[in-house]
Amino acid sequence: MLRFSLLLSLALTAISCARNPEAAIFLTFDDTAVNDWFALADSLQDIDFKATYYVTLYHEMDSEKKGKLKKLHERGHEIGNHSYDHTVITAYAQRGMDVYLKEQIFPLQQLLAADGYELKHFAYPYGKDLPGSDTVLLKHFKTVRKVAYTHNYPLDHHNVSLFLGNTPDSSVLWGAGIDKHYQIKEADLIKAIDVCAKEEKSLLLLAHYVGNDSTDEWETDLSMLIRVLRYAHKQGLKFKTVSELDVQNPYYLGSQ
Ligand SMILES: [Zn+2]
């Protein structure tokens, strides 16, 4: 009987997955919380969880963090560039993009290349950009990710973070923040996942730390996140990295 119900539940899972082949969660994390990311990924291996980690301050990471990042990469997670030392790009408004590339982009690319990575995606520290910076950065990266502030409008109608299948309409991506800072509730996330499952849409999310410190506004609650991601899996959503995005209308270089 036990075996029968196991087979039945496997069959039902297969049916619900096949129902929405394109719906996906693109979960992205920024900064340096490799230990948190690793623990989360480890506890979700049974549902084929994958994410994208935009790293910064790599030169300050200890060997334990670097080892865990490597393991995540080997398991199919994506590593992206989040600048050498997290200096906001607006600090380069006078010195220009050439200096920004030289001080914040290339050094991190080189450090990570020496450790076997090729970083193809970028996320702006603090989500801030400069006029024309997308155009310059998209000569070096396939996509750039900014931050969608979700306080003011509902996540399930979030037109820049919810898109059809895996095809956002630009190589400029918007991550909907889910840290406590953004005041997103579990019910908001469930609603957005239901929209994805029903309309074969994908959702791009952004987080930093993951844990159970209720006072850290840049943390996403670990048990809440696990419940939400398991719910997404149950609804047939896949977990994908930004490398799996099929940008249908690549960012037009003259559009800024
Ligand atoms: Zn950051």
> Are the C-beta atoms of residues 204 and 232 closer than 8 Å to each other?
no
Average pLDDT rounded to a whole number, residues 38-66: 97
- pLDDT at 1 (0 to 100): 43
pLDDT tens digit sequence for 134-147: 999 999 999 999 99
Q: How far is the CA of 168 from the centre of ligand 1 (A)?
A: 22
Rounded distance, CA 165 to CA 173, Å? 14
Q: How far is the CA of 16 from the centre of ligand 1 (A)?
A: 36
Instruction: Decide if pLDDT at 2 tops 60.
Output: no
Q: How far is the CA of 36 from the centre of ligand 1 (A)?
A: 15
Average pLDDT rounded to a whole number, residues 7-25: 57
Neighbouring CB atoms inside 10 A of 99's CB total: 11
Q: How far is the CA of 22 from the centre of ligand 1 (A)?
A: 29
Q: How far is the CA of 125 from the centre of ligand 1 (A)?
A: 4
Give the pair of three-digit tokens for residue 199: 């309309």
Share of the chain above pLDDT 70, in %: 88
Q: Map out the domains of the chain with their CATH numbers.
A: 21-244 (3.20.20.370)
Q: How far is the CA of 155 from the centre of ligand 1 (A)?
A: 21
Average pLDDT rounded to a whole number, residues 116-145: 96
Q: How far is the CA of 32 from the centre of ligand 1 (A)?
A: 8
Q: What predicted TM-score, i.e. pTM, was given to this entire model?
A: 0.89
Question: Distance from CA of residue 89 to its chain's centroid?
Answer: 20
Q: How far is the CA of 73 from the centre of ligand 1 (A)?
A: 19
> Are the C-beta atoms of residues 162 and 156 closer than 8 Å to each other?
yes
Q: How far is the CA of 235 from the centre of ligand 1 (A)?
A: 30
Q: How far is the CA of 31 from the centre of ligand 1 (A)?
A: 5
Q: How far is the CA of 126 from the centre of ligand 1 (A)?
A: 6
Burial 57-95 (b: 16+ CB within 10 A, else e): ebeebeeebeebbeebbeeebbbbbbbbeeebbeebeee
Q: How far is the CA of 52 from the centre of ligand 1 (A)?
A: 13
Q: How far is the CA of 18 from the centre of ligand 1 (A)?
A: 36
Q: How far is the CA of 157 from the centre of ligand 1 (A)?
A: 25
Q: How far is the CA of 204 from the centre of ligand 1 (A)?
A: 16
Mean pLDDT over all residues of the chain? 90
